């Protein structure tokens, strides 16, 4: 079974994770050392565009990875003929283009609004909902368009992911226990990443353009915490890492038992 396509998609996902976490982090760290926290309008719009570009690209890449795992588990003999290099590259490129189009729509909808009132953003980086709150006009229609854009992308991709894993789990009923164990091991890391990423995204964008006190914490989770956790989650599937952790755990247990025996003596 050829896994080079899976690793290739995983590398792109890792790159997107790194870029996404670096969108708000540098400015956030710099603001810790200054009393007056400011950002230019151009810088604010740039943050908005780049964050949504990488965030949406990650959503599409996670969906592509779910399709890849479906082919690996449900149609292993046809994997090399279905997931060819050309198909893999096309899916990855479509993810990048989809992220760009989504981000352009978000940016254009936001930048055409008049901002003439207060210029304080109740957030740690420039996102759609805090910026709509500063607009000097009725943003109901724009909010609905943003909801249809971002919210439906997150929800639709999540439903596709859930359906794909339901099909995978149903197909595993006819497999041996060893086959089920390997298949679940293949999917476990991806399911963990999907859960911690899509939950905050759906909470943030599948609702009207209102702000809550929890928004900053939830946004920080999927823009900084989750991208940093993803490499660790995927690394735990590595056999060498698993063996090293087992050895470390058994060594601690052995040392603990030896220490206890010395105390008894």
Per-residue pLDDT of the chain (265 residues; tens, 9 = 90+): 445 456 667 678 878 888 888 888 778 788 888 878 888 888 889 989 998 999 899 889 888 888 888 888 888 888 888 888 888 888 889 999 999 999 999 899 888 888 876 788 877 788 888 888 888 888 888 888 887 888 788 888 888 888 888 888 888 777 777 777 777 776 777 777 787 788 878 887 777 666 666 777 777 777 777 777 766 666 655 555 556 556 666 655 454 444 444 444 4
CA distance 66 to 79: 14
Residue 72 domain boundaries? 4-264
**What pLDDT is attached to residue 170?**
83
List the CATH number of the domain containing 104.
1.20.1070.10
What pLDDT does residue 17 have?
81
- Count of structural domains within the chain: 1
Rounded CA separation 66/60 (Å)? 10
Q: What is each CA distance from 164 to 6, 42, 95, 142, in whole angstroms?
A: 16, 40, 18, 33
Quick one: which of 261, 243, 237, 214 has its CA closest to 6?
237
H helix intervals, the chain: 4-21, 25-31, 41-74, 79-82, 85-111, 128-134, 140-146, 152-171, 177-205, 215-220, 226-235, 239-264
Q: What is the pLDDT of residue 234?
A: 63
- Say if CB 71 and CB 79 are below 8 A apart: yes
CA torsion, ordered 245, 227, 190, 98, to nearest 10 deg: -160
């Amino acid at each position: 079974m050829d896994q080079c396509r899976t690793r290739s998609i995983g590398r792109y996902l890792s790159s997107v994770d790194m870029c996404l976490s670096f969108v708000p982090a540098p400015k956030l760290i710099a603001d810790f050392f200054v009393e007056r926290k400011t950002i230019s309008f151009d810088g604010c719009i740039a943050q908005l565009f780049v964050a949504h570009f990488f965030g949406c690209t990650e959503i599409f890449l996670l969906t592509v990875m779910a399709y890849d795992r479906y082919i690996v588990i449900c149609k292993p003999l046809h994997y090399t003929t279905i997931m060819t290099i050309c198909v893999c590259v096309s899916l990855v490129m479509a993810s990048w283009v989809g992220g760009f189009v989504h981000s352009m729509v978000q940016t254009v909808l936001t930048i055409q609004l008049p901002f003439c009132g207060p210029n304080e953003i109740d957030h740690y980086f420039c996102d759609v909902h805090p910026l709509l709150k500063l607009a000097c006009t009725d943003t109901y229609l724009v909010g609905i368009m943003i909801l249809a854009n971002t919210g439906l992308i997150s929800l639709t991709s999540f439903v596709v992911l859930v359906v794909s894993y339901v099909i995978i789990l149903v197909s595993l009923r006819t497999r041996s226990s060893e086959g089920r164990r390997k298949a679940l091991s293949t999917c476990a890391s991806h399911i963990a990443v999907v859960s911690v990423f899509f939950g905050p995204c759906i909470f943030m964008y599948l609702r009207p353009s209102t702000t809550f006190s929890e928004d900053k914490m939830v946004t920080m989770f999927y823009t900084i915490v989750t991208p940093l956790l993803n490499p660790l989650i995927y690394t735990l599937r590595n056999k060498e890492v698993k063996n090293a952790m087992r050895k470390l755990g058994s060594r601690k247990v052995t040392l603990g038992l030896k220490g206890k025996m010395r105390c008894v003596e």
